């Protein structure tokens, strides 16, 4: 069995949710950038210091009743691009 590489912490993330959020919500999302997309979704992205903060972000999305569409690891710099994922999942748990 091969081991997965250590997670990149801290990292950048881009989360996409259904619907449009006003950029004024950025403060509620700890200063992450909100970008309305042409397809009616909103991207929420930027630097996330650790996995606990990522889970906090996802909890806020849940608490607002937003539909989570995707989560990507990105370059945490402004305008970050998705990073290639080289890790593969192991066999399913029993």
Contact between 14 and 44 (Cβ < 8 Å): yes
> Residue 89: inside a domain, yes or no?
no
> Residue 19: inside a domain, yes or no?
yes
What CATH number does the domain containing 43 carry?
Answer: 3.30.70
pLDDT band of 69, cuts 50, 70, 90: very high
Calculate the CA dihedral of residues 63, 68, 72, 75 and round it to 10 degrees.
Answer: -50
> Residue 33: inside a domain, yes or no?
yes
Alpha-carbon distance 33 to 27, whole Å? 9
> Residue 94: inside a domain, yes or no?
no
Residue 21 tokens, joined = 């959020």
> Residue 35: inside a domain, yes or no?
yes
Alpha-carbon distance 90 to 57, whole Å? 26
> Residue 40: inside a domain, yes or no?
yes
pLDDT digit string, tens, across residues 32-65: 999 999 999 999 999 998 889 999 999 999 999 9
> Residue 16: inside a domain, yes or no?
yes
> Residue 39: inside a domain, yes or no?
yes
Q: Which domain holds residue 35?
A: 11-74
């Amino acid at each position: 069995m091969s081991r997965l590489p250590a997670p990149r912490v801290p990292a950048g993330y881009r989360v996409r949710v259904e619907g449009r959020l006003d950029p004024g919500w950025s403060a509620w999302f700890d200063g992450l950038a909100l970008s309305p997309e042409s397809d009616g979704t909103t991207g929420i992205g930027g630097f996330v210091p650790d996995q606990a903060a990522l889970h906090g972000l996802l909890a806020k999305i849940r608490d607002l009743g937003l539909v989570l569409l995707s989560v990507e690891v990105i370059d945490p710099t402004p305008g970050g691009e998705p990073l290639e994922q080289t890790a593969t999942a192991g066999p399913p748990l029993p």
